[in-house]
Amino acid sequence: MARTIDEAFRVLRSNLQITDLQEKTVSTRQTSIRSVLEKDFVVLDSFLTGSYRRSTMISPLKEADVDIFVVLDPKYYAAQGQTGLLNAVRASLLKTYTKTPKIRPDGHAVTITFTDFKVDVVPGFHRKGGGYLIPDTSGPCWISTDPKRHVEIWSQANKAHNGDLVPLLKMLKGWNASRSLLKSFHLETLALDILTNVTISSFPSGVRYFFDKARAKIRTRLADPAGYSDDVAQHINTTEQMEAIVKRLDWALARAQEAEKFAAAGKTADAFARWSQLIPNHFPAYG
């Protein structure tokens, strides 16, 4: 619970964090998975990536995905071998995780569904010219990416915002989590672009500013900031999807504007009610 909007956003920031115990569990499990794969493959490198590594993962951990990137020897590469590679990784994992039935290929990765959280194991190869190649079974094709560069970009941007960008991204992901409108990386990239050269004067105004600018920005192509894709929003592929997202952004902006007006007028309980509508699973109660 909280009594002021400033206090509420401090509590919200804390509520979005995964716990120290969960951090230790993730660390132990990812180390174990990497060791399992090293028994069956020649692994050149392996590292954590995704929102966990960019420090933008939010609670609850049970609903999150922890990404492990495994760089393999090029002898496992085949031009049309995307599905075969993922199946080979799955077979390797099943030898150890015999009581974990939900181990299956999913897009770019092999997803392991544990009782407490999911792990996405992404196999890949060093790419000539930099970055990595990862499988895409929907093509099928190989996709160029560089998760290490993403971590650098996010870290530099957070530093430029005096440490306020990452917590603001988590707040936006808290809003998105209850609606599943945008994929995580798309939302983060969209916010990163919108907030470039913008001062985050407060978290409430930062959230409201994002909703305002995203309504137009969502309609344009958005390049991967690491330079490996000209559009990270390819999952939005119909006019109906786009209009539904813009409508939700309009609604969110209206609620945020109302919340700020209530707070300015001293109607704190009403402001809390509006913010709770926007981020229902993490925003604290008034009192």
* CA dist., res. 70 & res. 76, Å (int): 12
Helices (H), 41-183: 50-53, 82-96, 147-160, 165-177
State the greatest distance between any 2 C-alpha atoms of the chain, in Å, as a whole number. Answer: 66
- Quote the crossing angle between the two packed helices 268-278 and 5-15, to the nearest 10°: 30
pLDDT tens figures, 52-74: 999 999 999 988 889 999 999 99
Give me the pLDDT at residue 287, please.
Answer: 87
Averaged over 140-161, what is the pLDDT? 96
Averaged over 1-13, what is the pLDDT? 96
Report the predicted TM-score, pTM, of the whole model to 2 decimal places. Answer: 0.93
Q: How far apart are the first and last CA of the chain?
A: 6
pLDDT tens figures, 177-197: 987 789 999 999 999 999 999
pLDDT tens figures, 78-88: 988 999 999 99
CA distances (Å), origin 131, targets 22, 105, 108, 211: 30, 22, 16, 32
Averaged over 4-28, what is the pLDDT? 94
Q: Is the pLDDT of residue 152 over 90?
A: yes
Averaged over 237-266, what is the pLDDT? 96
Give me the pLDDT at residue 21, please.
Answer: 83
